[in-house]
A and B are shown apart, each in its own frame.
Chain A
Amino acid sequence: MISLSQAPQDKQLKIVEFQGGHGLRRRLMALGLHKNDIVELDSRSILRGPLLIRHVNSDSSLALGRGIANKIIVEILDK
C-alpha cells in the first residue's frame, strides 16, 4: 500500500484510506472520491506539481495537489 503520489501511472488503484483531517475528507467526498473507489493516475505535473487522476467508474478527471495526493493511500490492483 502506497500513497497516491508514489503510485505508478496507468494502473488501476483502489483507494484504501484517507489520512488527514475531516475538512480534507469532506472536500474529497464532495468531488466523488470515496474509500474503495478505483482510480487511475493519468499524469504527473513537473517538479512537485499536481497529479491528474481519473475516477474509473464515472470517468471524471481531477487535478490533485501533491500534498493532498500524499494523504491518499491506495492499493495497486493487478489485472
Chain B
Amino acid sequence: MNVSGRVINIIDLPGTYSLNPSDDAEKVALRHLFLEKPDLIINVVDASILTRSLEMTLELIELQQPMIVALNMTDLAEKKGIEINIEELQRQLGVPVVATIASHGRGIKRLLETALLCMEERRCASHLRWSKDVEDRIHDVERAIPEGFQVVANRRFTAIKSIEIEKRSFFRMLEEVSLPLKEAVDKARRELEQRHNAPAYEVIAAERHHLAMKIFEESCRVRRGKRIGWQDRVDDVIMHPLLGYPILALVFVGIFFVIFQVASPLEEFLLKPFGALRIFLGEGLGDGILFHVLDGLTQGIGGGLAIVLPYFIPLLFLMSLLEDVGYLARVGFLLDIFMHRMGLHGKSISPFILGFGCNVPAISATRILESRRDRIITSLLIPFIPCSARTTIILALVAFFLGPWWAMGFYLFNLLLVAVLGRTLSAFFKTASPGLLLEIPSLKAPSLPNVGRKIYIQLKAFVQFAWPILIAGSVVLGVMQFAGLDRVVNTLLAPLVESVLGLPRELGVTLTFGFLRKELSLIMMLQSLGVDYRNLMTVINREQLVVFTVFINFFIPCLSTFAILWKEIGRRWAFVSVALNTSIAILLSLLARLLIN
C-alpha cells in the first residue's frame, strides 16, 4: 500500500495468543516473524480485553525489534467503562501506541504515519524488567550462550525461550550444540522451580501476566458497574442452555428460506434471455461446430449468471454477516456437546461452518485445531458438508422442482450423515479429542463495509477461478457432443450410470465433469439431455432427480477441494477422502432409489 509516497507491504498474520504456538495457525505467525524479519511489527491489540492482549505485546517486545501498538476497539473499551491513558501506556511499554477504531476507519492514517516514522528511525522496542530473581536467572543463561550461537531474535529472547521450552528434542539439541549452555539452562530452571514451586515455563508466564496486570492498573481506570447493555442481554438469550438451540434452528431455517425466496425468482428471470439466445443460435447456425462452441459458451456464462450467482451471493452475504456479528463462536459453544458425540469438539465448528460456503477455506481453517487427529477427522467430514455450489444444486434442482420442504429434508439428512460419519470415523482413532477451550469474542453490530469486503473476496475468487472452469467445461462438452465423443464416454460409464444409479445414459459425461466443479454438472446435465431448464422434468422423473442430486452432492470432492486436502493432510488421506465420498455416494444413491420407489 501507498503511504505518503512510500510503498509498504503489509502482511496480515493469523491471530495469535502467544509466541509459544499451540496450533498450526499460530505457528505461521511465528515462522513469519523469524524467517521474514519484518521491518516493523504492528501489534493490533483489543483494548476491551487489555490485560489479555498485553501479554502478547510483552512477548513481542522481547523480540526487541521496531514495533508499534495499534490500540484497537477503543470504542468497546469505553463502553465497558475502561479509561485508557495512552501516554502512560506508551511510557510503560516503551513503544508508540496509537488508538484506533478499525471498524470505523478511525486512527488508521495516524497509525500508518507512526509506522513510517518508526521504520525510518528504526526505533527498537527495549525489554522490560521482570522480578529480580527471574532476571538473574535469565542473565545466567544469557552469559552461557556461546559466541556464534544461532540466536533467535536476540540473546535475551533466546535465553527466555530456552528456559520456557519443555520439548525433549530441544534439550537434546542444546546438548549437542553446547553442553555448558544446556547445564546453565538446567540450573536456571531448577532454581526457578525450587524458588517458586512451579514449573519454569509457568514462572515465566506468570511474570508476563503480572507485568501485564501492573501496566494495565497503572495506565487505566475502570468505572465499575458500567456493563454493556444490549450485548449481555442478547448473549443471555442466544447462549441460553435451552433457548439457544431453537434460536439456532430458527437462524438456520431462516437463512435457507431467505436465500430461496430471493434466488428463485431471480433465477427464472435471468434464464429467459439465455434460453432465447440458445434458440436463436440453433436456428442461425444449425448443427455445426461453431454452434456447439457458442452454445457451450452461452450455457457456461448463462449458467454462472442465472443459476449459480442468485443463490451464491445471498448465501455469502448471510454467512459473512453472522461471522461479523460474532455469532459463529457462540454456535461453537452451543453445538459442542453434539460435536462430542461425533468425537470432536466445538472448535471444529468454525471450519464446518466455513464449509457451507466453500470446502476449500474450510479445510485450511482446520489449522486452528490443535491435534492432528481432530484435523484429519474434520477434514474428512468437510467434503460432506454442502458447500455453496452444492447448495445451489440442491436448491436449483430439488427445491425448484420438488418444493422447498424436500430440499430442507435433504439438507437435514446431509447434516445427520455428517454426524453419523463423524462418530464412525472417531471410532477409528484411538486418542480422545482435547477438550473445548474457545474464546468467545464480544458481540458487535455488523459492519456492512466489512461484510461487503468479505463478499467481494469470495465473489472475486468465483469469477476469476470457478466461472471460467464452468465456461470452459461447457464449451468442451459442446465440442465433445459435436464429435460424438460424449456418446463414447457415456457407453463406457453406462454400467454405473444406468444400472446402478438408474439415470439416463447421457449423464455419464456430466457426472465425470462434476469432478471439476459441482455446478458444472448441473449445467451440463441440461446440455447433455438437450433440454431447457424449465422442461427438465419431461426427460427425467422425480426419482432420477433425487438420485442425481444425491450422487453429485456426495461423490468425490471437487478438484479444488481435493487439491487442498492433499496439501493440508497429505496424499494418503486425500485419497481416503475420495474413496469414502465415492462409496457413500453410491450407497446413498441406491438407498434413495429404494426409498423413492
Query: A residues engaging B (CB < 8 A)?
Result: 22, 25-32, 34-35, 43-50, 52, 55, 57-68
Contacts and interface: CB of A to CB of B under 8 A. Distances in A.
Given A26-B201, A30-B17, A50-B346, A63 B436 contact: yes
A67 to B, nearest CB: 4
A43 B240 contact: yes
A64 B436 contact: yes
A63 B17 CA distance: 16
17 contacts: A27-B434, A27-B437, A31-B437, A44-B241, A45-B334, A45-B337, A55-B52, A57-B213, A58-B51, A61-B439, A61-B442, A62-B439, A62-B440, A63-B333, A63-B336, A63-B346, A63-B439
B14 interface: no
Contact of B333 (A26, A30, A45, A67): A45
A50 B205 contact: no
Contacts of A61: 439-442
Contacts of B438: 50, 62-63
A46 B337 contact: yes
Which of A47, A48, A49, A68 lies at the interface centre, i.e. has the most chain B CB atoms within 10 A of its CB?
A49
A34 B206 CA distance: 7
Nearest to B436: A65
B447 interface: no
Contacts of B166: 22
B594 to A, nearest CB: 35
Contacts of A55: 49, 52
A32 B336 contact: no
A65 B345 contact: yes
B249 to A, nearest CB: 14
B420 to A, nearest CB: 20
B22 A27 contact: yes
Given A49-B241, A63-B336, 6 more contacts: A29-B202, A32-B51, A35-B206, A46-B241, A60-B439, A62-B440
Contacts of A65: 336, 345-346, 435-437
B337 A48 contact: yes
Which of A45, A55, A62 lies at the interface centre, i.e. has the most chain B CB atoms within 10 A of its CB?
A45
B20 interface: yes
Contacts of B437: 27-28, 31, 62-65, 68
Interface in B200-227: 201-202, 205-206, 209, 213, 216
Contacts of A48: 337
B18 interface: yes
A60 B441 CA distance: 7
B55 interface: yes
Question: Which 6 pairs across A and B sit closest by C-beta, in order of nearness?
Answer: A65-B435, A65-B436, A49-B337, A60-B49, A58-B51, A61-B440
A14 to B, nearest CB: 14
Contacts of B436: 50, 63-65, 68
Interface residues of B, number: 43
A25 B202 contact: yes
Contacts of B49: 32, 55, 58-60
Nearest to B217: A57
Interface of B: 17-18, 20, 22, 48-52, 55, 80, 166, 199, 201-202, 205-206, 209, 213, 216, 236, 239-242, 329, 332-334, 336-337, 345-346, 370, 434-442
A64 to B, nearest CB: 6
A52 to B, nearest CB: 6
A17 B436 CA distance: 19
B333 A50 contact: yes
A49 B336 contact: yes
B304 to A, nearest CB: 40
B201 A43 contact: no
A45 B206 CA distance: 30
A34 B51 CA distance: 12
A43 B241 contact: yes
Nearest to A55: B52
Contact of A22 (B199, B241, B336, B440): B199
Contact of A30 (B22, B242, B329): B22
A36 to B, nearest CB: 9
B80 A59 contact: yes
Contacts of A63: 329, 332-333, 336, 346, 436-440
Contacts of A47: 337
A30 B241 contact: no
Contact of A32 (B22, B52, B236, B329): B52
Contacts of A35: 206
Contacts of A66: 435
Nearest to A32: B52
Contacts of B50: 58
Contacts of B48: 59
Contacts of B332: 63
Contacts of A49: 241, 336-337
A27 B436 CA distance: 11
Contacts of A57: 51, 213, 216
B440 A30 contact: no
B20 A26 contact: yes
A25 to B, nearest CB: 7
Contacts of A67: 435
A71 B49 CA distance: 25
Given A58-B50, A63-B346, A31 B439 contact: yes
Which of B205, B346, B435 lies at the interface centre, i.e. has the most chain A CB atoms within 10 A of its CB?
B435
A44 to B, nearest CB: 6
A33 B333 CA distance: 19
Contacts of A52: 239, 333, 440
A48 B239 CA distance: 15
